[in-house]
Chains A and B, each alone.
Chain A
Amino acid sequence: MKRLALGLGVAAIAGAGLAFVLTAPRPVAAERLEAIAATGGDAAAGETMFWAGGCASCHAAPGAEGDAKLVLSGGVKLKSDFGTFIAPNISPDPQAGIGEWSISDFANAMLAGVSPDGSHYYPAFPYGSYTRMTDGDIADLFAFMKTLPESKVASLPHEIGFPFNIRRSLGGWKLLFFTDQPRVQLASDDPQIKRGQYLVEGPGHCGECHTPRNPIGGFVSNAWLSGAQNPEGEGVIPNLTPGGKSISSWSTSDIAYYLESGFTPDFDSVGGSMVDVQKNMAKLKSDDRDAIAAYLKALPERPNGWE
């Protein structure tokens, strides 16, 4: 009996130790960080990634329009089943924002979801998508963000209850769901479709809303972009695959025109949180909107059961 208790005790300690090791935040490998720093970064090129990534949709002040979108003072609230996340100030202000960050700090945030002080970020910040971004695009985006106005607005703490307020537990979430692998295997090697895949699965982070999630916030497998309940409340997020009712009848040029203008083929308009996303998409080069459309048309058909 004593031996059993001792055995259980040892197992518990070993288990706790293993969990501690497994949930540790893991930054980007040193060699890659060096390679990213070495690319230098082109601010003009980074603007494309800024709009593709939708940074301003969460990090500009709530309701900001026009040039105010370039002031990343934070404050937008993202409601979820786990609580309310409040986007922080990521302007170049040295105190209130990320002005003191190195390119490696930025790369660790974007590609590994790890903060400069070595803790996990909540995946409300969509690093689960951004992790697919190239070294060059990370460096370019960082260079562009350095050119933006500084804001002194203080970041607010997230409104998250127990147990989700324990950041270490996100290590478990990452173990289960965090991957830099493609979300779908496509038969085609068409460079346009590949570009679309990169934009949608990487910076564009479309799947964060358009893919259903399980109760602990991971994507349901084999349901990529098949639509979901609106995480912010009532209503639904449309199915983007050719197997759904939402846009399966649209041509590639219909999809590209929607992203450019906000009009559906029937001249209904974009609505809900997609209004802001569409404004971002309108700032991309037309080749990139065409690539996104080509990728969506190449997706496997996935009905979602509620359409």
Chain B
Amino acid sequence: MKFRTLFAAALIGAAAFAPAIAADEPQVVRQEMMKKVGGATGAMAKMVKGEVDYDAAAALAALTTISEVAATFGDYFPEGSETGMDSEAAPAIWTDMDGFKAKLAAFKADADAGVAAAPADLDGLKAVFGPLTKNCGSCHETYRLKKS
């Protein structure tokens, strides 16, 4: 009986702690950040593709999200976080940190330009969406590695 209680307590403890620990790992933080960018990009792409009506507030919110992520994304690649947690970060990030940071800076500059433009209509959004999203492939070409 005592054993059972201990076992249950251990299980509850593990359940309570495991996600908290995992969520703090830089690998997980940066994955969540990229998901945010994906969500924001998707929201704008649906407008660009004409699947939903243009919404200036939603577009600005999406651009702001991307700008915020770009500002701190580079902080989550410390030594020791090269692998684990299904990370798809390429070794090139650590062998060429300057190149990686330069790509990030270009990404942030384009996101900031989008926020500053605060596009009022669809043509305005298209003008910032194209240059901004070119950064995705341009960085993933070298610094992201598909492992599965």
Contact = CB atoms under 8 A, between A and B. Distances in A.
A31 interface: no
B138 interface: yes
9 contacts: A234-B90, A235-B145, A236-B147, A262-B133, A263-B45, A269-B133, A271-B144, A275-B138, A275-B140
Interface string B130-144: 000100111011001
A267 B148 contact: no
B81 interface: no
Contacts of B124: none
Contacts of A245: 148
Interface string B69-96: 0000000000000000000001100000
A272 interface: yes
Contact of A234 (B38, B140, B145, B148): B145
A253 to B, nearest CB: 10
A271 B146 contact: yes
Interface string B8-52: 000000000000000000000000001000110110010000000
Contacts of A263: 41, 45, 133, 136
A276 interface: yes
A199 B137 CA distance: 23
B137 A235 contact: no
A270 B145 CA distance: 11
B146 A235 contact: yes
A47 to B, nearest CB: 22
A306 B90 CA distance: 19
Contact of B38 (A238, A261, A268, A270): A268
Interface of B: 34, 38-39, 41-42, 45, 90-91, 133, 136-138, 140-141, 144-148
A285 B90 CA distance: 33
B148 A269 contact: no
A307 interface: yes
B141 A275 contact: yes
Nearest to B37: A267
A51 to B, nearest CB: 16
A306 B148 CA distance: 7
A117 interface: no
Contacts of B145: 234-235, 271-272
B137 A267 contact: no
A69 to B, nearest CB: 15
Contacts of B137: 262, 269-271, 275, 278
Most buried by B among A245, A266, A272, A273: A272
B141 A272 contact: yes
B91 A272 contact: no
Given A238-B146, A306-B148, A271 B38 contact: no
